[in-house]
Structure 1
Amino acid sequence: MPPPVAQPAPGTAAPPPTASPAPPPAGAAPAVPAAPATAAQPRPPLTTPPAPPPRDAMVQRTAGPVTYICGGVAEDEQVALQRLARNFNMSLLFTQGDRGEYLSDVDVKLMRGNKEVASFVADGPRCLLKAPSGTYSVRATYQGRTKTATVSTGGRNSQMRW
């Protein structure tokens, strides 16, 4: 029969049990005490954010004070741009050759006076722009050749042909 366990006197707390630490097994690294708890560390998000849309995805973007959307190679994009046109105050069309083949990947700089106010790459032949009221100079470069045009807000379908 096991020996009787001593009970503490009524109204007193029992002392915590003590145990002597066991020696580490042979060849084991000595135990390292845990670091004290610190302020809560931010956790990484449970999901990763979606990748940005491809450059040619007909997505509305902003460059400086100008909002723009470019596209219009496929018929469904042309219809979508036509539907969106009422929300923009300028339109540019980039073509080449006698037959007016559509261009994309045109570097566009919108200037007011001698100051550049917006710069972007046109992902399609037609770009709709929403800019502060006024007159702008457009410098468009395609395959190293630059064309310029003067456009004003309220102007529709300013065509630049290479």
Structure 2
Amino acid sequence: MASPAPAPTGTPPTAPAPPPMAAPAQPRPPLTTPPPPPPREAMVQRTAGSVAYICGGVAEDEQVALQSQARKYNMSLLFTQGARGEYLSDVDVKLMRGGKEVASFIADGPRCLLKAPSGTYNVRATYQGRTKTATVSTGGKNAQMRW
């Protein structure tokens, strides 16, 4: 007579897990790309610290508009390059006074008009990794920085 087989020891074999139940199908919104960010408006007065500024002047109409507003500002910067003085934009500008940064902005045009508290400022302007410095004073009106 055969004796019954001993019960196996250890963990019992596991059955494969049933596939997960799918959630009810929900309509998906159509795939769209987000709208591009609005363009930075040139010729709009902005503020950085205690300094109000406006930059532009690539096109002739912008040059005329800046000239008509110049009397409202007490400093002006012009960014150029090369022997012929081609206009630059996208210049990283830092205005320093007494060793402290008082304003920082990206010039979106070659000419920037600034309205700052009276005094003398050091300008650090960087274009394509090259930095130029200049000292400007309120009322001094124009400082040209050339690369």
Instruction: Tell me if both proteins adopt one fold, taking TM over 0.5 as the criterion.
Output: yes
2:106 paired residue among 96, 105, 121: 121
Give the aligned partner of residue 142 of structure 2.
157
Unaligned runs of 5+ in 1: 1-51
Q: Deviation digits for residues 97-117 of structure 1, max 9, x if unmatched?
A: 000000000000000011000
Instruction: Tell me what 1:141 maps to.
Output: 126
Alignment partners' CA distance in 2, 1:125 and 1:105 = 8
**Aligned-pair CA distance for 1:156:** 1.6
Identity %: 88
**Among residues 49, 61, 67, which one is paired with 1:64 in the alignment?**
49
Counterpart of 2:83 in structure 1 is 98
> Does structure 1 retain, via aligned residues, the 8 Å contact 2:77–2:143?
yes
Counterpart check, 1:55 vs 2:9: no
Unaligned segments of structure 2, at least 5 residues = 1-36
| Deviation beyond 3 Å, 4+ runs, structure 1 | none
For normalisation by structure 1, the TM-score amounts to 0.67
Q: From 115, 121, 126, give the equivalent of 1:130.
A: 115
* TM-score (normalizing by structure 2): 0.73
**Which protein is richer in strand relative to its size?**
2
Shift of 1:55: 2.1
C-alpha separation in 1, matches of 2:119 and 2:47: 18
Amino acid at match of 1:74: A
Deviation string 1:10-44 (CA, Å, 9 cap, x unpaired) is xxxxxxxxxxxxxxxxxxxxxxxxxxxxxxxxxxx
Equivalent pairs counted in the alignment come to 112
**Larger of the two Rg values belongs to structure:** 1
- Alignment RMSD, CA only? 1.5
